[in-house]
Amino acid sequence: MFARLGRSVAHHPRLTVAVWVVVAVLGYAVAVLGVHGENLFDRLSTGEPAVPGSESSQGRAILAKADDAGDSLTLILSGVDPTTSGLDDALDPARTDLRAIDGVGSVVDPLALPHGVDNPAAAPLVAKDGDGFLVVVQLEPGLAESASGTALAAVEKRLDAVPDELRPLAPDVTGVVGGTPLIYGAITDQVEADLRTGEAIALPIALLVMVLVFGGFLAAAMPMAGAIASIAGGLAALLGLSYVMELDSSVVNVVTVLGLGLSIDYGLLIVSRFREELHRLVDVDEGRASRRRRGDGAVLTAVETTMATAGRTVAFSAVTVAISIASLLVLSPEILRAVGAAGCAVILVAVATALTLVPALLVLAGRRLTRPSVLARVPVLRTVLARTADVQTEEGLFSRLAGRVQRRPWWVLGGVVVVLGLLALPLGHLELRNSTTQLLPQGSTQREFVDTLAAQYPASTSPAITVVAQTSLDDATAWASTLEGLDDVRSVDAPAAVDSYVVVGVRPATNDPGDATARSVVTEIRDLDTTFPVWVTGQAASEIDFTAALRAGGPWAALIVGLATFALLFLMTGSVVIPLKALVTNVVSLAASLGVLVWAFQDGHLSGLLGFTPTGGIETYVLAMVIAFAFGLAMDYEVFLVSRIKELHDAGASDDDAVRLGLQRSGRIITSAAAIIIVVFAGFVAGKLLVIKEVGFALAVAVLIDATIVRLLLVPATMTVLGSANWWAPAWMKRVHERLSITH
């Protein structure tokens, strides 16, 4: 099948490239530029991750249905005493202008109330230190989305001008405009900015790495061309998915990073194998003298062989990664289902570019890929490229490394297990969080707004825990006294009737709405016996429900991934030992990576270096995504390595020779691909959104550990210890493999 695909592409390379150019241009046009009316980033959502059907989600839905208020924006004025003479009159022009904006329902500030700041109702609007106050603008309920957006933009612009108008009376006055619409908009804008930052860092460095790997720009440019087309196609696929499911803003960067890294990985493998096959068919001197022709038999044969071997490996690897990521669809949280679906779509685009666009470019380049690069003529670069560019020798750095491992396999095996175990230790005190505004970077306007509001205007903020009760106001008021007596409860807001429900705000004795204290209060409330239905919601409640959903669906997801991975590796190798070994080593490698993530982000040891403020835990959905993605990437490199070892074993090499030479042939590709994907992920660590930092860092560490300690040391050691047992399978399974095997 793959050989036929290679022949088809080889005979129509220009058409294939033209199709991908059109796809890439259209993809960028609709997804980024929004030529059809709205781009992908306009369709993203953000907010606290929810679990459909959970208690916190049901409570939030009840509140949302009962809330008929329009959107609002708030101006926080600091550096001004609200009792300053003439301040009320100075605010009148702004009040008049704001009320005149279409869609504005009310404008409230403490100076406009009867008796001004002396009115008890003004207290929530005045700063605790008396050095500022709030101006709150509420829109009319039921506005259309376009009308609401227009009104909010006009309100924001007018509020921004207020501090300058008050400066004659208060020279030190400053103002910050914020609100839920602006907070969500800031998160989405940061996602887009981080995507550009990550690509700007990752793509040039990835190109440099591939120049070192291939010894020239021509070969290095081909995986990059596939990556660029893959990004465009992936963004277009995400835009299409946004019309059938809700996509959280963080999903775009995460899956784009994955698609970018995989497309470069797969392109790297295809180009490297093509050059290897072409070198076997064409003498280098002949290649220098020959003119490239599309019908060149050596080039066509090399493409066909490449697709039958490396193409098959790429497709097989993509299936294993897709299975791992698709396991997220088994889990109930909506954000993880979205990541699962979006990830599979992006992987499909990445593998499509690797199996069609890259081979077409190889055909067009032809024998020029066998010629020494212009860079090789530069004295210093010639020395560097001689050590880094791919070579055709059977012996080298990686075979020598494997030989050393094979001389003392038990020592290497024990040492690697100890190192991985130490790295995994911090995983023992893992805390999971469902953060919202805490994800915004320190220094951003909306983060400043949220922090100032919490510190200076606590009465204007929502309680950390909200209880929705379906009962009478009198019964709820009597029951609220029970809540006041719970451990770690600082205060309870007066119950308020909302439609047929009563809402009670509970404020735990902590300033962190998602820490252990808040979660303990949620658990205590849920454990109370009541004669009426009660729903507890809020960040801590969502964390508890999200964690419970992971525990409920996690074993099923792991079982599906384990069985599917085992089956695919068995069909590839005919062994039951190699799939089991792969599962065990991947789990150990993953535990080590997560331990490093906890140490760096939850414990905050790298907060200064990476520029973030610790939230006291790891985001719940980040943990699930990292497990799925890192396991898939680990299987990616397992397939790269085992496929070459299997190829040599089938050709008659001894067990040890197959491992040693297989590592030599695949080690350069694995380490090069790993270096590139680490650069890609590290590029997104340079972004500012915390969730993207966590994912990028965790996956970069996972790939680093897997491609070095695991693939170069642990796998050769275990395969050496097992010897011929690597290829063992029961007789009945061998018969199954003979009928259903996936072979070249």
Q: Out of 41-55, 84-98, 108-122, 516-530, which region has the weakest mean confidence (pLDDT)?
A: 41-55
Strands 618-619 and 432-433: parallel
**Percent of the chain predicted with pLDDT > 70:** 93
Assigned domain for 685 exists: yes
More confident residue, 621 or 354: 354
Assigned domain for 241 exists: yes
Residues 410 and 423 in one domain: yes
More confident residue, 294 or 29: 29
Assigned domain for 663 exists: yes
Residues 410 and 378 in one domain: no
**How many C-beta atoms lie closer than 10 Å to residue 183's C-beta?**
21
The pLDDT value recorded for residue 377 is 58
Residue entry with tokens 């959104």: 689
* Statement: residue 285 has pLDDT above 50: no
Q: CA quadruple 715, 717, 719, 722: dihedral positive or negative?
A: negative
* Statement: residue 744 has pLDDT above 50: no
The pLDDT value recorded for residue 312 is 84
The pLDDT value recorded for residue 308 is 87
The pLDDT value recorded for residue 357 is 93
Report the 3 state secondary structure along 280-304. HHCCHHHHHHCCCCCCCHHHHHHHH
Residues 582 and 728 in one domain: yes
* Statement: residue 45 has pLDDT above 70: yes
CB 702 within 8 A of CB 324: no
Q: Residue 155, by phi and psi: left (phi above 0), alpha (psi -120 to 50) or beta?
A: alpha
Residues 247 and 376 in one domain: yes
Across residues 457-461, what is the average pLDDT?
A: 82
Q: Which domain holds residue 86?
A: 65-178
Assigned domain for 49 exists: no
Residue 284's pLDDT band (cuts 50, 70, 90): very low
Residues 579 and 706 in one domain: yes
Instruction: Give Dmax over CA atoms of the chain in angstroms.
Output: 96
Most confident of 148-162, 276-290, 393-407: 148-162
Q: In sequence order, what E strands does 560-716 have?
A: 618-619
* Statement: residue 287 has pLDDT above 60: no
Residues 411 and 383 in one domain: no
CB 638 within 8 A of CB 582: yes
Residues 279 and 378 in one domain: yes
**Cα–Cα distance between 213 and 205 in angstroms, integer?**
12
Residues 188 and 216 in one domain: yes
Residues 357 and 212 in one domain: yes
The pLDDT value recorded for residue 92 is 92
* Statement: residue 411 has pLDDT above 80: yes
Q: How many residues does the chain have?
A: 744
* Statement: residue 534 has pLDDT above 60: yes
The pLDDT value recorded for residue 409 is 92
Assigned domain for 697 exists: yes
On the CB side of 462, how many CA atoms lie within 13 Å of its CA? Answer: 13
* Statement: residue 699 has pLDDT above 70: yes
Assigned domain for 540 exists: no
Q: How many domains does the chain have?
A: 3
The pLDDT value recorded for residue 365 is 84
Assigned domain for 341 exists: yes
Concatenated DSSP letters for 704-734?
Answer: HHIIIIIIIIIHHHHHHHHGGGGG---HHHH
Assigned domain for 263 exists: yes
The pLDDT value recorded for residue 38 is 81
Most confident of 6-10, 327-331, 373-377, 678-682: 327-331
pLDDT digits (tens, 9 = 90+) for 564-622: 889 888 888 888 999 999 899 999 999 999 999 999 999 999 988 888 888 888 988 88
Query: Of the residues 388, 416, 447, which one is the last residue of a structural domain?
Result: 388
Across residues 690-717, what is the average pLDDT?
A: 90
* Statement: residue 382 has pLDDT above 80: no
* Statement: residue 252 has pLDDT above 80: no
CATH (domain of 133): 3.30.70.100
**Cα–Cα distance between 266 and 24 in angstroms, integer?**
18
Query: Of the residues 128, 152, 178, which one is the last residue of a structural domain?
Result: 178
If you average pLDDT over every residue of the chain, what do you get? 85
* Statement: residue 234 has pLDDT above 70: yes
178 DSSP β-pair partners: 74
Residues 649 and 732 in one domain: yes
Q: Out of 195-199, 366-370, 371-375, 723-727, which region has the weakest mean confidence (pLDDT)?
A: 371-375
CATH (domain of 613): 1.20.1640.10
Residues 96 and 188 in one domain: no
Query: Of the residues 178, 212, 236, which one is the last residue of a structural domain?
Result: 178
* Statement: residue 202 has pLDDT above 80: no
**How many C-beta atoms lie closer than 10 Å to residue 281's C-beta?**
17
**Cα–Cα distance between 101 and 134 in angstroms, integer?**
19
**Cα–Cα distance between 611 and 325 in angstroms, integer?**
29
The pLDDT value recorded for residue 743 is 56
Residues 734 and 617 in one domain: yes
pLDDT digits (tens, 9 = 90+) for 515-531: 889 999 999 999 998 88
